[in-house]
Structures are given as C-alpha cells and as structure tokens.
Amino acid sequence: MSSQHSRAISDSQFKALAKIIYDRSGIHFPETKKYIVESRLSHRLVELELDDFDQYIAFLTMGPYQSDEFQEMFNRITINETSFFRNEPQLTVFERQVLPPLLEARERTKRLRIWSAACSTGEEPFTLAIIVHRALGVRLKDWNVEILGTDISERALKVADTGEYSSYAMRSTPELVKHRYFREKNGLWTIDEGIRSMVNFELHNLKDRLAAKRHGIWDVVFCRNVMIYFDAEMKRRVVGMFSDQLAADGTLFIGHSENIRDVNDHFEALPYTQGFCYQPLKASATKAA
C-alpha cells in the first residue's frame, strides 16, 4: 500500500463506518466487504488530505460539510451496475401480463404512474418508458404517464440526466429497440427525446419514508437489485413503505435474486415464474386505484 495514494482501514474503523453507512442508507456492509469500503474511500481521504479513517469519520459526522460528504461517500460506495432491458423475461411479464389490465383499469383517468426506485444511471426507467410507449402507441398523447427514477447516488443520476450511454449499457437491448429508440454516434447511444421526456429523475434515499409519501401513490414500483444490499430490518422497512405507496391494484417488481419472503406482511406473489412481482394483499388493499 502506498501511503501517498491510499489509506488502510482497521477493523474498528470499519465497524464504526459500516454503522454510519447503515444508519444513513440501510446498506449493510459485512466484514467480508471491508475491502470495498477501503478501496473506494481511501482515495477520498487522500483528496481531503486526511491521514486516516478516524479523521474521515470525524469529518463525516462532525464537520461543517457533513451532508455534502455523505453524498460524496454514497457516490463512491454504491454499486451502480445496471443495463437497458435487464432481465428481459421479467420485463415481458410486465409488458404482457401486468400492463394491459392496468391500462384497462386506468382507461377512465388515463393516468399511469411508475416508480423505478434505486434506478442507478437510468437504464431501468428508460426501459419502462420504451415499454409503455410501445404499449400505448398513438394513444400515448391522450395519457398522462409519469415515470420517476430515483437513487441515493447523485453521480448516477447525473449520467441518467444526459440520456447518453456506452455500448456496455446497451448489451441486453434488442436490436429493433436500439434502432427505434436510440441514435448512435461514435459508440455513444442517445435515447430518443420522446422517451427521455417521459422520465424524471430525483435524488431519494429509500430510508426516507416521508419523501416517498410526498410522491404519492404509484401503479407500478420497480425496486430491483438493491435489496440484496439491505439487511432484513431495512428490507422490511422498504417493503412496508412500498405497500403504503402502491395502489390497491398496483404491482411491485423486485430483482430475480432477491426475495421478500421473510419480511413481507403486505404482498402476495403473482403467479408468473419469471415475474418476481407482487400485488398488495386484498385484505390490506384499501387505497383507491
């Protein structure tokens, strides 16, 4: 380790920092992930001219720039892996099984609200916008479709705002979709302006229940590949929050390697093997659609 460019984290410093991260975000770093925290933050200590992680913890918790530094820390420690059309079989369930009856149920109000929670760099909400665009076709102009992408990482949302992506982000995108909804120049893919205008982005920490409440009731929530970083308590909290914020006939989609079995008093699984999706239990479904 070069003392010029990196700083080592001791077990007790890691414990203290992991608790701070957990209290703020629900992200659980077990001992085995100590190297991630160390490697991602040690350069930050060098930038700040801090000698060790004790000083960093003090800076983070007592300094005048606390909230800026929390943001900077989350920009660095979050794992933002994503892609367009990630897990296509699940999206097919959304497109063929969930969306058609939902659009029928909303035919009177012509209002559809979709939340992509923990959307990283925006590929997921843009994918959902493409699917809704495809489903509504020319009828889209008569509808009020709101798609919101939120994340705790400001840096990830800045990428989302540009609407420009590398070929890597496009790796699971069907050819037809690429040509219909993107413009490519020098290996950079720019999303169609019509799709871009269907999606808004906002900074949001899934721990913040009040902010979630302010966003109102959603017809569909996608929350994929983030609950793997949470412990049972945080998962319970987040699933409870989704149950408050979903319409009675709304649907929650989670990641294919995640489960909410042990923390779920609110939802029942829909019978689609590839769907990983849930609807509010009828007994608790009291909100108006």
Ligand X SMILES: C[S@@+](CC[C@H](N)C(=O)[O-])C[C@H]1O[C@@H](n2cnc3c(N)ncnc32)[C@H](O)[C@@H]1O
Residues in touch with ligand X (CB under 6 A)? 25-27, 78-82, 86, 118-120, 124, 151-153, 156, 205-207, 224-226, 229, 255
For 118-214, where are the alpha helices, taking DSSP H only?
Answer: 123-136, 154-162, 175-181, 193-196, 209-214
Spatial neighbors of 23 by CB under 8 A, at least 6 apart, are: none
Per the annotation, the verdict on 151 as an active-site residue is yes
Query: Which of 113, 151, 219, 224 is the catalytic position?
Result: 151
- What letter represents residue 118's amino acid? A
Name which of 54 and 231 has its Cβ closer to ligand X: 231
Q: What's the min distance (Å) between Cβ of 74 and ligand X?
A: 7
Q: What's the min distance (Å) between Cβ of 196 and ligand X?
A: 18
Q: What's the min distance (Å) between Cβ of 158 and ligand X?
A: 12
Written as six digits, the tokens of 2 are 């070069």
Radius of gyration over every alpha carbon of the chain, rounded to an integer in angstroms: 20
Name which of 55 and 71 has its Cβ closer to ligand X: 71
Per the annotation, the verdict on 54 as an active-site residue is no
Q: What's the min distance (Å) between Cβ of 90 and ligand X?
A: 10
Written as six digits, the tokens of 261 are 């079995």
Distance of CA 106 to the CA centre of its chain: 25
Q: How many CB atoms lie within 10 A of CB 108?
A: 7
Name which of 27 and 247 has its Cβ closer to ligand X: 27
Name which of 112 and 227 has its Cβ closer to ligand X: 227
Residue 254 β-bridge partners:
223
What is the set of active-site residues?
40, 151
